[in-house]
Amino acid sequence: MENQDAPSEAPQNENKPILRITAGESSGEVQEDTKTDRPTDEAIIKQHNEIRNEQKETSPLIGTIDPLTLYQQEFEHGNEVFLGKLRLLGQEYSTARRVRRDGNCFFRSFVFSYVESLLRSFNLTERDRMKEHLVQCKEKMISAGFQELVFEDALGILQERINQIGRELTLHEWELVMSDDNLSNYIIMFLRLLTSAEIQLRRDFFEPYIMGISDVLDVELYCRRLVEVMDEESDEIHIRALTDALQIPTRIYALDSRPPIELIPTDYVPESAANKPFLVHLLYRPGHYDIVYPTMK
């Protein structure tokens, strides 16, 4: 997770800072490049695409729930700082669910974790809130310039599953939905367009951070190239925009190999959800997001 300098002044109409993180899908630890024979950009992109293609062929979209100790075994001969942070995570979380590395892991992890949390807690109050809120999201997207024809089917798929919470939708059926390429990607497409709409409608807030990434990207170009396109990596702008658009409190822990050995979560709490429990818990490792589950107390 990489921190970059934020603009010197936050937009006046918001009081929530954005902490820069890169939420890409590349595998492995981020290491400082000290070699002079660095691969060409073309070679890096080629290797990155090969990794993604292999992931698509060998890993499920949504994996099973496994003990968090499996992560420790995976990195037991790796960086001690990384392992130390993982052990700290184990004090609060006991299990995790892997999600495919395909460029969509943040969106896939986020929506799966949210619906799963409602199914497990039988949270019908939140279900009813979301049913009404998705109607507002539809109007927001139209206001941002999206034609309803473009997203209405994708929105309908998500609305149907939300409506079924507490009725016929089971966790197993939700796993099947999110393991289906077509259904899952329709939902992710909708979330990407909603994220784009949120960014564009709150230009004054997000524009300074977009300009901080690149001085050649304006808001529309950023959304068109880096938000709306499937399989494109996400950064913290996506996370802030989506959690605000859906008003879902979210907690994310980041594991990396940089000292000191401490683990402080990044919390995304929209104003309307200030006193609500976190409904989404994610684990960020360099280049990837998975879902984590708090230990029952």
Question: Are 108 and 99 in contact, with CB atoms under 8 Å apart?
Answer: yes
- Is 102 an active-site residue? yes
Q: Which of 137, 281, 288, 290 is catalytic?
A: 288
137 is catalytic: no
Cβ partners under 8 Å of residue 41, min gap 6? none
Reference 187, options 164, 159, 168; nearest CA is 159
141-to-35, 38, 133, 135, 245 alpha-carbon distances in Å: 46, 43, 12, 10, 10
- The token duo for 156 is 């309908």
Show the tokens assigned to 267: 């919390």
From edge to edge, which strands make up the β-sheet containing 62-67?
62-67, 93-99, 288-294, 280-285, 250-254, 266-268
**Given its phi and psi angles, is residue 47 left (phi above 0), alpha (psi -120 to 50 degrees) or beta?**
alpha
Out of 105, 238, 244, 281, the active site residue is 105
If one counts every other C-beta atom within 10 angstroms of the C-beta of residue 227, the result is: 23
Nearest to 177 by CA among 119, 123, 235, 239: 119
- Residues pairing with 158 in the sheet: none
H-assigned helices in 90-170: 105-121, 124-143, 148-164
260: preceding bond cis by omega (within 30 degrees): yes
Name the catalytic one among 41, 102, 180, 231: 102
Catalytic annotation on 290? no
φ, ψ of residue 89 to 5 degrees: the values are: -60, -35
Identity (one letter) of the amino acid at 191?
L
Residue 257: strand, helix, or coil? coil
Beta bridge partners of 66: 96
What positions carry a catalytic annotation?
Answer: 102, 105, 288
